[in-house]
Amino acid sequence: MEYRHLVVSRDGHVVTCQMSNPPLQTLNSRMLAELHDLLTQIEADPDVRVFVVTGENGVFLRWMDLNEMQAYAEGAKDQTDGGPSQAEELLEIYRAIPSSLSRIHELALRIQNLPAVTIAAINGVVGGGGCEFSLSFDFRLMMDHPEGSFALPQTSFGLVPGGGGAWHCVRLLGRARALDVLLHGEFMSPATALELGLISRLYAPETFDADVAAFVANMAARAPLALRGVKALVNVGTSQGQLEFLARETVELGKVIHSEDVKGALAMWLSNPDPAAYKPVFEGR
């Protein structure tokens, strides 16, 4: 597969992937397919000990592509120029909307179960589907940038997390704090994310690259069989019931994705993505 949104490099036992989808740096269907393709290659190479993913220009991933989400919400059928609609192009990749949603879960599970140590090098802003994606990694190393933020704001759009974010929040935070984070959907500072335990390390902007490189080098130099064994044990100890949870998550997302609340909220944000001006009125339909 030719990559449009990934820049992949390798240094010894370390594979680094920089995600790129300017100008908003969102996770779209094409990037999702490319990440799956890259994971297939890494899974087949036992010499890979560490897998690092990062973003660009001060953004890891903002959220899922809201234009695609709106296409899902609208039913993905309109055509404006006689050619294939945006939704049809999405279905070209995934064949059906429920399938595309489960591909996000599949990506998360593949990252969790990868024998290599996985590191999300969060270089600034991360939110929504980007946060959910980062929570699948073994480590989240975040830059303490003054404009950086960590958020799961799906409820602000009438949605529920659809990429395993609720599962990870419950596991990392416990029920009460998970509800607080998920129901408020607020953008928290990197320091708050560290205090809650949503990220693993917090590094100053001026030393971020060097600190991440040192962390990666430490992991790559450790005994690979021991790393794989520890990951396997921890996965068994923390993933009981996860498949059932993810299946329920898809059901709950399916209940709201086509609602008038979601359609209106996404349209409002896309027309003016300003948090101060974004004041949707939800009617429960």
**The total number of structural domains that make up the chain:** 1
Neighbour tally for 168: CB within 10 Å: 23
The reply to whether 257 falls in a domain is yes
- In the structure, what pLDDT confidence band is assigned to residue 77 with cuts at 50, 70 and 90? very low
Please report the pLDDT score of residue 195 as a whole number.
95
Predicted confidence (pLDDT) per residue in 133-163, tens digit: 999 999 999 999 888 889 898 888 788 887 8
Q: Helix, strand or coil for residue 180?
A: helix
Q: What residues make up the domain containing 18?
A: 6-208+224-271
- In the structure, what pLDDT confidence band is assigned to residue 223 with cuts at 50, 70 and 90? confident
Predicted confidence (pLDDT) per residue in 173-217, tens digit: 999 999 999 999 888 999 999 999 999 999 999 999 999 999 999
The pTM is what? 0.77
The CATH number covering residue 73 comes to: 3.90.226.10
CB-side exposure of 264: number of CA atoms within 13 Å? 11
The reply to whether 65 falls in a domain is yes
The reply to whether 240 falls in a domain is yes
The reply to whether 16 falls in a domain is yes
Q: Helix, strand or coil for residue 140?
A: strand
Predicted confidence (pLDDT) per residue in 79-137, tens digit: 334 444 444 444 444 343 344 446 788 888 899 999 999 999 999 989 888 899 999 99
The reply to whether 138 falls in a domain is yes
Is the separation of the CB atoms in 185 and 198 below 8 Å? Answer: no
The counts of H helices and E strands in the chain are 12, 9
157 contact partners, CB below 8 Å, separation of at least 6 = 262, 265, 266, 269, 280
Q: What is the dihedral of CA 17, 22, 23, 25, to 10 degrees?
A: -40
The reply to whether 71 falls in a domain is yes
Neighbour tally for 152: CB within 10 Å: 31
